[in-house]
Structure 1
């Protein structure tokens, strides 16, 4: 059936029959859909007071970049550094990790292009690889590979540049060059070049990428010195320390002990199983993505146990859903679309994943939780990396129901996870296709 004049007239008569529609239309035209639908009781439900909190540093700002996953991971790690250095706050260089992420992603992409050179150019896999090879985003396991290989440095050792805070132009140029390199590698393979010749060609490509990154992000240090004053105003200076030594000494994480739990309640992903994603990673020789799918209650229990122990929690979510960014509130009842439009969006979490309506888009840090008298979570305290203009000077509040609906991943120490979910790590890992929604990357700015 086509859209006819008669059908349009029918729609218009139905619209005109309800006088409220015109009042709503006028309101939306002035202030927009969300402000017209916002729940005025939102602030009453979010006092920004929480029963259990961890330590945290000063609020950070990823600026116009998609480095949220880096900021969240480093903001989680810095709490241990603050304790070891005996300082009130501390910030790692996100530019340093960005440099290595870009270089490693370029290598990962080009290696994948060589591995798939026999496939048709229009195959779904090759087109997937070419779609977005060097964007800013990532997942927890991708970042642990960078930490293991390159360590970390204080922000003053490799401070921000224009392009670390504004990555669009850099990404556009890198994407164009990587697609060019991919074309030449596939052409060389078709011409019968040997594996050694393809590797040499790839290394020439990486030399360009390294030079470009050095020009835009700065030179990465092999060793550095770092001076600071502790909480008692005592002066300290660390000299000739490598980034790996700094991370090992002043973060001192056993990355093997930090486990990712995901919540993907879709039929194709049974709970209690471990999953990875094909062709997803940063460090090519690093360990592949590996996480355990579990009920949302398991993610909450692990996060609460960690927070109670003073350990902040890295997490990944779909931040754009039911978010009042200015107020810094994530609440599943933030906007009453049904009252304004006649009906809301009625998809379950599983349906949102299956039908492309939701996926992991942003990473932040849980630094607190508000528990009721029975120990059940009411709301969650969230450290974001969007500066201090939104929320309570950069701190956001998340309702527990929002956690249910839009949170997808937490990374915590093994000891905070129930043994029934850890068993999955000893069983065969299920490989997900590269375009699976759980292969999405946190990169919202």
Structure 2
């Protein structure tokens, strides 16, 4: 449903006020407060997305893979376990390992075998005289023990098992000169999860700083850039919160890749949509439209673009749901849901922020719009050559006497009627006559 308003002074055509745009314009403040309340509720009552990702992380290996099936079969046949999580404990000394090192090793083995919740089997080769030589290095300074842990690689139980083994190693006093390491496939996957979560903070901060600098160079208005980034921040918080809610309730699985990709997509898409909204509004203001008219011009020109772009990204990421690799499969629903939330926020919160800020003139354009007509390099004024161009000193004028008052910017040639240079008594002619020299 749309209604028409008076002729646009810049184009002379009838424009329309979409129903959704009128609702957003009328209830801008409640919309902003509503989104803030949603973000606060999700942040307070739901764990962070990184924490939920650790709770609901999925297995690294596809269960249909022949290698995975073979490993489970071997574990069952030799009574060593039914998972693909394997860890290694390596003992290294500065001198050949002696009796003290052996006592320390035996203490570790006893504690590991006692933890049946996390350790399914221990391959104690160094403790058996028949296999001790094969488990020790040629110089006698290092040995190892292999563990089969509970939980498949990447799953919460597997990560918990790795932490349990590390705690046993840390709590067991070791003799001087002995260094103990916990490594192996399961430990590497667990470390990858932690590294991915920690790196997101650095990536997010760097991304925001780069975006801030680039937007500041374009808009030359710190207020505009800050408000745009705050809007993106609310969209990002809402998208992450909704996905965290789904993961916390067990509706979806997650991985460190899903968390990273969702955050990057939300920041990138939210910034793009904010540029669409604020940029189109400023173009309308530069064309001579008042603030309310420019708002509706912006919404008519950007709403369908934002919706189409967001649905395309959401649909493309959702297709990853059909992948066989669990790490790829978990990218589908989280990224799609996060993008839908970001799009909905961009279509409601962005225009609402624009409505409130425009009432105080926060988003009016700060850059002059330069006009070129034809293939020549001459400057044009209102469709004709200006005999007073260029002035000998910086000119204080910026408003055309034959065009609507558009504030501190120049106009484009298509919005001005073709006419002669400014007449005597016009603001432009008076400003030029007052120039120095």
Using the size of structure 1 for normalisation, the TM-score is: 0.20
Using the size of structure 2 for normalisation, the TM-score is: 0.20
Structure number with greater CO (CA < 8 Å, separation at least 6) is 1
User: Which has the larger strand fraction?
Assistant: 1
User: Which has the larger helix fraction?
Assistant: 2
